[in-house]
Structure 1
Amino acid sequence: MKSNEVKGIEIKLVCTVPADEFQALYQDAGWWRKDYTISDAFLHLIPEKSALFAGAFFEKKLIGMGRALSDLCSDAYIQDVAVLTAYQNLGIGSMIVRFLIQELKKRGVDWIGLIGEPGTSLFYEKLGFRQMKDHIPFKLE
């Protein structure tokens, strides 16, 4: 499945991506610690086991991604939206999020949430997301 091809960028659902390109995205986003010893096999599981994994490609190279964790019938969470620094501020992140929303809605998902990093509020608000009042995100420690 493909979305809009803008300026040579293709957004599509995939189940696998090259491990080195996937790791490069996580490193570029600051989500990868130097002491990680994660195998390529593990990196292949993330797109495979996500409900939806959208890759942004330029000249067949993975330059951005986003994924949805979901039951694919009612609720979903979008996470890990990342675009390589060299390709940021071109609208690719927005394309990825819109594409994921469209694909989730096609499947009947009517509740879509996410937890954004500090400083990303405006980005997500422009895409229709609002802070949930009276809700606090939690993480098991």
Structure 2
Amino acid sequence: MANFKIHERIPSVSEHRFLWESAGWGSINTEMSKGSLNNSLYGVVVTVNAEPVGMGRIVGDNYMFFYIQDVAILPAYQGLGLGKEILEYLLAYIKKRNGIAFVGLFASESKDGFYEKFGFKNHSPHMTGMFTVFEN
């Protein structure tokens, strides 16, 4: 079994790019991701022998609204419980807050069941998750 180490920090731009692309999410503009990473509230990076194998982070207002972003595990390390560990760290950060917290995320295809184990659910037809993308 590999010797995993969990670091409570935001991924570096290169770690983020490597894990993003390894997860099959396409290529990423590192100038854009640098700004996004710098404005993250909290993050977790999992390493094996100092090499990144997983990540996750939180964005939001750090008060009432939180969004879980970029939970990714290298394909060779999937199914070992790393996603669960990452999500537990992220949710523990949010739960430290007083009062209500609205927590959102978009799940990759076929990953709904994983997030449902943590209390996330599809609220349709009463609520619909929507988004748009602006490109300049």
**TM-score for both structures, normalised by structure 1:** 0.79
Contact in 2 for aligned 1:94/1:127 (Cα 8 Å): no
Deviation digits for residues 82-141 of structure 1, max 9, x if unmatched? 000111100001111110000111133622121212211111111221222411111224
CA RMSD across the alignment: 2.2
Contact in 2 for aligned 1:16/1:44 (Cα 8 Å): no
SS at match of 2:63: coil
Give the gaps of 5 or more residues in structure 2: none
Give the gaps of 5 or more residues in structure 1: 1-5
- Letter of the 1:131 partner, please give it: N
1:122 has 2:116 as partner:
no
Q: CA deviation at 1:16?
A: 4.8
Contact in 1 for aligned 2:56/2:70 (Cα 8 Å): yes
1:140 has 2:132 as partner:
yes
Farther off after superposition, 74-83 or 42-51: 42-51
* Alpha-carbon distance between aligned partners in 1 of 2:118 and 2:16, rounded to the nearest angstrom: 25
Task: Go from structure 1 to structure 2 and tell me whether the alpha carbon gap of 1:118 and 1:78 turns closer, same or farther (over 3 Å shift).
Answer: same
Contact in 1 for aligned 2:6/2:47 (Cα 8 Å): yes
Runs of 4+ in 1 over 4 A off after TM superposition: none
- Letter of the 1:139 partner, please give it: F
Residue 9 of structure 2: aligned partner: 14
Q: Number of paired residues?
A: 131
* Alpha-carbon distance between aligned partners in 1 of 2:129 and 2:106, rounded to the nearest angstrom: 8
Contact in 2 for aligned 1:17/1:62 (Cα 8 Å): no
**TM-score for both structures, normalised by structure 2:** 0.82
